[in-house]
A and B are shown apart, each in its own frame.
Chain A
Amino acid sequence: MRPSLKSKRGQAGIVSAIIILIALFTFISIIYTSYDLTSQYEEVRQKVSQLEIERLEENLIIEKIGLGLGVIHINVTNTGSVPILIKYAIVVYKEKGELRLVTDELNVYLNVGERIINVKIDVPPPPIDLKYIILVTSRGRSFIKVIEAT
Chain B
Amino acid sequence: MVLRRDRLGLSEIISALLLTVIVMGAMSVLYLLMSTYYSEHKSLLYLTYALSIEKVKERLTIAYTLYNSTGLYICIYNYGYVSAKIVSVYINESLISLSSKSLLRVPIGKLVVLHLNVTLDPGIYLIKIISDRGNEYETFIKI
Q: Which residues of A approach B to under 8 Å, CB–CB?
A: 1, 3-4, 7-8, 11, 14-15, 18-19, 22, 26, 29, 33, 37, 40-41, 44-45, 47-48, 51, 55, 87-88, 90, 92, 98-101, 103, 105, 134, 136, 138-142
Contacts and interface: CB of A to CB of B under 8 A. Distances in A.
Given A7-B16, A11-B23, A98-B69, A22 B34 contact: yes
B79 A139 contact: yes
B46 interface: yes
Contact of A90 (B12, B34, B60, B64): B64
B113 to A, nearest CB: 7
Contacts of A44: 53, 56-57
Nearest to B19: A11
Given A7-B15, A88-B77, A90-B75, A103 B113 contact: yes
A48 B12 contact: no
A92 to B, nearest CB: 6
13 contacts: A1-B11, A3-B11, A3-B16, A7-B12, A26-B38, A33-B42, A87-B109, A87-B111, A92-B64, A98-B69, A134-B63, A140-B60, A140-B61
Interface of B: 3, 11-12, 15-16, 19-20, 23, 27, 30-31, 34, 38, 42, 45-46, 49, 52-53, 56-57, 59-61, 63-64, 66-69, 73, 75, 77, 79-81, 109, 111, 113
Query: Sorted from nearest, which 4 A-B pairs have the closest CB atoms?
Result: A140-B79, A140-B61, A37-B49, A88-B111
A7 B20 CA distance: 12
A142 B15 contact: no
B6 to A, nearest CB: 14
B96 to A, nearest CB: 19
Contacts of B67: 99
B3 A37 contact: no
B63 A142 contact: yes
Contacts of A48: 56-57, 59, 80-81
B122 to A, nearest CB: 14
Contacts of B11: 1, 3
A93 to B, nearest CB: 11
B22 to A, nearest CB: 10
A69 to B, nearest CB: 25
A138 B59 CA distance: 11
B34 A11 contact: no
A101 B77 contact: no
Given A1-B11, A48-B57, A103-B75, A41 B49 contact: yes
A138 B42 contact: no
A40 to B, nearest CB: 7
